[in-house]
Structures are given as C-alpha cells and as structure tokens.
Amino acid sequence: MIKRIDATEKAIELINILKEKHGDLMFYQAGGCCEGTQPQCFEKGGYYQRTGDVCIGTIEDTEFWVDKDLFEYWKHAHFTLTVIDAFGVGGFSLETPLKKTFQIEYRIFTEEEEKDLEPVTYI
C-alpha cells in the first residue's frame, strides 16, 4: 500500500519533541486562508474536525487530518510534512513557541500508485 503522507527527519524529530512536552498529538490541514495555509499541530482532541473531514494517515502515531473540501482537491496528491525555522502565519500550532513552522510539500500520485493507496478515515 502506498502511504498518502510521509515526513522528513526534521519533522519527525520535532513531532517527538512536541509529544514529549504535550502528549498525544494531531495535525489538521485546513483549506482556508491564514491559519489554514499550513498544517496545524494540536494536542490530540484540541481541534474538533467537521463531519466529512479525512484522516489521510499517521506520522509517529499522530493522525493527520485534512479538511473535507481540501481533500477533494488534493486526494490525488502525496503529502510530505516538513519543518522550517520560521514563525508561521499564526500562533495556534504547538511548534510556534519553538520558532518552527510545519509545512506540506506535495506531488501528484502516479497512475500505478493510485491503484494501491492506503484507505482514508472519514468523520
């Protein structure tokens, strides 16, 4: 099965730092402006998803949720979670005090990959 999301080594290191401090985590990627332009990291249960939102996979046992409308647009894309040294567009995500920002890089799945994608979970 082809994963829909992966993470860079730096992103995994930051997730583990945040888990040590905050416990179980979750990610949410919205499709809107401002806060929605980057993935947000919350304590698990710290963000309430909407009906129809989609979990595209996990990173370090951390669910990565995507807004239902955004998933329809990006359902043919593989996500890679990265992190940069910068202050993001807002301040709600847990990495903000560390002067880090999670980002998504994506590419379109090949036709062969599309045939063997991991299933997603819907709310």
d(CA 81, CA 78): 10
- Give pTM, 2 decimals: 0.91
pLDDT-above-90 percentage for the chain = 76
Q: Per residue in 49-79, pLDDT tens?
A: 889 999 999 999 999 999 999 999 999 999 9
Element (H, E) at 121: strand 121-122
